[in-house]
Every structure is written in C-alpha cells, then in structure tokens.
Structure 1
Amino acid sequence: MLAVERMKLFTTRSPWWCALVALATTIGFSALVVGNADDGGEFTATVASTQFGYSFGMAVIMVLAALAVTTEYRFGTIRTTFQAVPNRAAALVAKTTVVALVALVIGELSAFGSWALALVLKPNAPLALDTAADWINVAGVGAIYALAAVIAVAVGILLRHSAGAIALLLIYALAVEDLIRLIPSVGDDIYQWLPFNVANKFLTGDGASNMGRNVDAGAPMSTAALSQGWSLAYFAAVAVALLAIAVATARKRDA
C-alpha cells in the first residue's frame, strides 16, 4: 500500500510543484531576512533568523497534503482504492504516512537549505549549530511539516473538496489563530493552546537560538505554556486525533 501511494503521489504534477514552491518560498524569505540583517548589531543574523520563512513553506506543504487526498475524491479514484483495499483505515493511513514522509524530507531540505544559504550570505554571523536549541530550530522544521501534513490529510478526508480543504487550512493556519488573540479577556489564554502556536514553541523554545538578540531577528516567539518536548507531543496528539476522526468518518460514509 505504501508503494502504491508513493506512485500515485509522484505521478501527478501538483506534488512536484508544491515541493518546489515550498523550498523556494522558505529559502527565499529566509535569504531576504538574513541578507538584510546587521553585521554585529541588534539584528545580527542568528540561527532563528535563518528559519524565518518556515511557516510559508508549511502552508504550501498543507496544500500538497490536502490535494493528495481530495484529488482522489474529485476524480473518483478513491472508490478504486477502497475496492482494492477494503480496509479503508489501512489505505488512508498508508496515504498519510507517505505524504508525511515527503513533508518531512521537504521540511529538512528547506530548513538546512535556508541555514546553508545564510552561511554563504553572512559567513561572519554566529550561525553555527552549537546547542540543542539551534539543532531543534533547524532540524525540527521537518517534524512540524510532517505533522502539519497529517492535519491537512485529515481535513481533506473530512471535506473531500480541494478548494474547501485548502481554504480552511490556509485561513486557519495564517489568520484564525492570531485573530483569536483579539477576543477580550480570554483570547490570549486560548491562543496558548492552539496547535500551530504550540508547534512554534517547539521550534523556538525560549529564544535561545536568537542568542538574546531582538526577537524580530527570527520567527515570532510562541506564547505556549508547554515546554519544547511537550509542545511537539501536543501538536502530534492533535494531528493523530484529527486523523483518527477522519478515518472513522471515512469508514462510515459512502466513498
């Protein structure tokens, strides 16, 4: 099933284009931030600033993941899949696994590509991966991309419509969580537990990879109350829970 899902994914154009756009967007935004950083000033390039564009690439990855499942519903090929594999849960988990692994690879390529380009642009900046915080800030992007892909697949299974799934994912990831902070009294408290804010806490931690400089030199800091390790576990739990709901729903309804 994994081999079949791999072939289905890579024999269409959209995953290739999404992968290229994710890499170009992430590395491009990071290059802009690092290229305009000071040399030795408050906005000196740091490891955190090399990952400034990861959220833009994550949005593209979620589009890729949503299309991987909604395209099958659109063209009716999901019926053939379920006829060949009557165990719908196994088929959908196999698809999710392949998409998540692809997202993991793209995430690592974009993260280390951004960091490597920063080394070329600012060879004298403190960009060495000397601490655990530095490594998490870079290598952790792949894990976040993979879990974001699982969430996107789950939403695609639930909605079964490409435009609707993509619109919902992008609006939520890029706007809704920040807008919730505007709710009087309780907005900030709710925001602390929203999944993508928590995922950002895993990457940025307490800002150690910013080396104490202005936080604007890197990705925005998270307000999540959890530690880095628990933040990753929380984000993973949200992804797995959504996938479980989606699979259970797919098993009960007509293809």
Structure 2
Amino acid sequence: MTLLAVERIKLFSTRSPWWCMALAMVITIGMAAVIAANTDERFPLSVPVSQGFTNFGMVVIMVMAALAVTTEYRFGTIRSTFLAAPDRVRPLLAKTTVVALLSALVGEVIAFGSWGIGRLIKPDADMALNSAAEWRNVAGTGLVFAFAAVLAVAVGILVRQTAAAVAILLVYTMLLENLIGIIPTIGPKIQRWLIGRNSDHFLTAGNESFISEGGGADQPFGPWGSLAYYAAVCVGFLVVALVVAKRRDA
C-alpha cells in the first residue's frame, strides 16, 4: 500500500496527468455533443453513436500513462525509486496499478458523460440502456481504458523516452491497424487479431446500429473473449517490460 500511495502522489504532483485527463474529457464529450446536436431522422442519435469518439480520449489517456513512466526516466527520479525498492518490479507494478485505475475512472466518466450529454441535447432520442450490449458499450469503456494504460506503461518502460513512446502509441493506434487492413488477401486476416479491433469488438458487438469498417462478424472471439485476448496481450507486454527493466541499468 505504501508503494501505491507513493505512485499516486508522484502521478498527481505533475501537471501532465491533469491536462491529459481534461483534454480527453473535453475532446470526447465535446465531440459527442456536436454529433448529438446534428443528428436527425436520417442519422438518429443512439447509444453507440454517442460512444463513437471514445477512442480519441483513449489515445490521450495512453499518452498520459506513457508519460507517467518516461518522465521519471527523463529526470532520473526512477533511480531513487529503484534504490528504495531494489527488485524494481514492485514499484513498476504499483505505478501501473495506479495509472490503470485512474484510466478506468476517466474512461467511465467519458463514456457516461458522452451518453449523458446526448440525452441532455436530444431528450426524445432512444438513449435508454435497455440491453446488455448497450451497457457493455458504455460501462465497458473503463476496462478498455485500463488495459490500454497498461500497454502504454509497458511501452514507456521499454523505450524510456517520451517522444519515442508517444510516437509508437500514436502511430499504432491511429494509423498502423487501419493500414494493415488494406493489405490484399492477408490484411483482414491479420487485422482480426489486432488488439484495437478486439477492444472495439468488445464494446460494439451486439449493437446493430453501430457502423464500423469491417464490423465484428469475422472476429475470432465473442465480445468477452475479445476483451480477454486484448487484456492478455497488454499484460503480456507489461511482463516483457518488467523483465527488461529488471535486467538493464536504470
């Protein structure tokens, strides 16, 4: 518990997490408000439509998670941390836990905020959470954000430089996964195993009104299986990062 408290203090003592959280909320909920205000009979507002921009908020939170690690390497404070806990694994796990829990909380605020602003702007729209799929679409966002933060922390531990970590996360989440899908023949087969496609499948499966490229019919797992696969990959990267951090110099 002491390590968790220390990591919480370190995280909230800098401005970058506050800016990242505020930016993620403003961008995502703001775009949800713009979309809700411009829906009509041809493009009606629904629960999945209100959640269409959560990935933008997730990218910002992943940057925040990476900064939680790379900032310590940049200013050398990680050496003091490792001197206090020579095994290195415990403080890094504590940092990952704090960042993941915070990311999950922000994800829930973003998801329910986007849903709530839609109901406020268009009170007559069908925005009720009547099915398990609709609840998963909204409430499941926190889980996706949490594991995305775990992956971002792992990348930060591995590369240790802010610019490199942020570049890797942005290129992969916003560019690489989509580019792989356009490769003839093998692209779609590879894409169905990528973590972004599986996290999206977890959130959107069963919501027939959701419109996405490729859909989720060809995914190898059901929604909860996709979440388990997504979580396993993120945690796997963290395990690799912890092994590397334990073996190399700080």
Question: Can you list the C-alpha shifts for 1:109-141, whole angstroms capped at 9, x where unaligned?
Answer: 011011110001110000011110111000011
Indicate the percent of aligned positions where both proteins have the same amino acid: 51
Partners of 2:161 and 2:26 in 1: CA distance: 27
Task: Name the SS of the counterpart of 1:58 in structure 2.
Answer: helix
Deviation at 1:220, TM superposition (A): 8.1
Whether the 8 Å contact between 1:48 and 1:219 is mirrored in structure 2 is no
| Corresponding residue number in structure 1 for 2:161 | 161
Taking only aligned residues, the RMSD between alpha carbons, in angstroms, comes to 1.3
CA distance in 1, matches of 2:215, 2:5: 39
Describe the shift of the 1:232–1:203 C-alpha distance in structure 2 as closer, same or farther (beyond 3 A).
Answer: same
What's the offset of the Cα at 1:42?
Answer: 3.7
Contact 2:134 2:207 in 1 (8 A): no
- When the two structures are aligned, how many residues end up with a matched partner? 247
Further displaced range: 157-166 or 221-230 = 221-230
Q: Distance in 2 between matches of 1:33 and 1:231?
A: 28
**Is the 8 Å Cα contact of residues 200 and 221 (structure 1) preserved in structure 2?**
no
- Alignment TM-score, normalising by the size of structure 2: 0.96
Report the equivalent of 1:229. Answer: 224
Query: What corresponds to 1:188 in structure 2?
Result: 188
Normalised to the residue count of structure 1, the TM-score between the two structures is 0.94
2:121 aligns with: 121
The residue identity in structure 1 corresponding to 2:221 is: L
Q: Which amino acid aligns with 2:6?
A: V
Aligned to 1:139: 139
1:169 and 1:197, CA in 2 relative to 1: closer, same or farther beyond 3 A? same
Stretches of 4+ aligned residues off by more than 3 angstroms: 218-223
Q: CA deviation at 1:207?
A: 2.2
Q: Conserved in 2, the CA contact under 8 Å of 1:198 and 1:231?
A: yes
Aligned residue number for residue 9 of structure 2: 7
Q: 1:219 offset after TM fit, Å?
A: 9.2
| Distance in 1 of aligned mates of 2:232 and 2:104 | 17
Q: For the residues of structure 1 that align with 2:213 and 2:130, how far apart are their CA atoms?
A: 19
Q: What letter corresponds to residue 106 of structure 1 in structure 2?
A: V
What's 2:177 paired with?
A: 177
Distance 1:95 1:18 in 2: 17
SS in 1 for 2:26: helix
Q: Look up the SS of the partner of 1:126 in the other structure.
A: coil
> Unpaired segments of 5 or more residues in structure 1?
none
Residues 75-100 of structure 1: per-residue CA shift (max 9 Å, x gap): 00000000001121111110000000
Task: Report the 3-state secondary structure (helix = DSSP H, G, I; strand = E; otherwise coil) of the residue aligned with 1:19.
Answer: helix
What is the Cα deviation at residue 221 of structure 1?
Answer: 3.8
Q: Matches of 1:126 and 1:9 in 2, distance apart?
A: 39
Trace 1:53-72 onto structure 2 (pairs within 5 A): 53-72=53-72
Q: Secondary structure of 1:44's partner?
A: coil
